[in-house]
Amino acid sequence: MFKSRIANKLMLFLVISFSLIMLVKSIALARNIERYDLIIPPFGQTAFTAPTSKVNYSRGVDNNSSIGGGYAQYTAIYRGNTLQVTEKVEIRSGDRVLLPYLPGQNLPGEGYRLGHTSKLTTYVRVQAQGTWSPDEY
């Protein structure tokens, strides 16, 4: 009887410890979802979001809620201001696009930005709004 009480208490301690570790791990590894409200300059220029962190090895995602004037744009994720690390994908108002990382570029870390690029034929500034994350999940 004494051994079974100790075994039960030990089992309870292990279950609680494991649960707490998993909770802390899931909170620590939660992906960053950022809002954007960009004014994209004309003639193929790019506007960037503020930088955020990537926490796992999944694809990026751009969940657009609106692009003004019915224009289409290109979206991609960059590290810093210039290094494009995902494929550039066309996006229209209301689209949700997954952004696969280029080979060797899918690394957790800091400094990831979303960039929206206007088409060369777009001759006005266009507003784009939505949410994005460097991690799909």
Q: Helix or strand or coil: residue 123?
A: coil
Find the CATH number of the domain harbouring 42. 2.60.120.260
* pTM across the whole model: 0.79
| Residue bearing tokens 């500034």 | 125
60 and 90 assigned to the same domain: yes
Contact 71, 118 (CB under 8 A): yes
Q: How far is CA 110 from CA 33, 90, 119, 122, in A?
A: 14, 25, 28, 32
Same domain, residue pair 40 and 106: yes
Amino acid at 33: I
- How many structural domains are present in the chain? 2
14 & 76 share domain: no
Confidence of residue 6 (pLDDT cuts 50, 70, 90): confident
pLDDT digits (tens, 9 = 90+) for 38-84: 999 999 999 999 999 999 999 999 999 999 999 999 999 999 878 99
Kindly state whether residues 91 and 62 are assigned to the same domain. yes
Tokens (6 digits) for 116: 């929206």
Range of the domain at 13: 1-30
**Looking at the structure, do residues 106 and 61 belong to the same domain, yes or no?**
yes
| Contact present, 51 and 124 (Cβ < 8 Å) | no
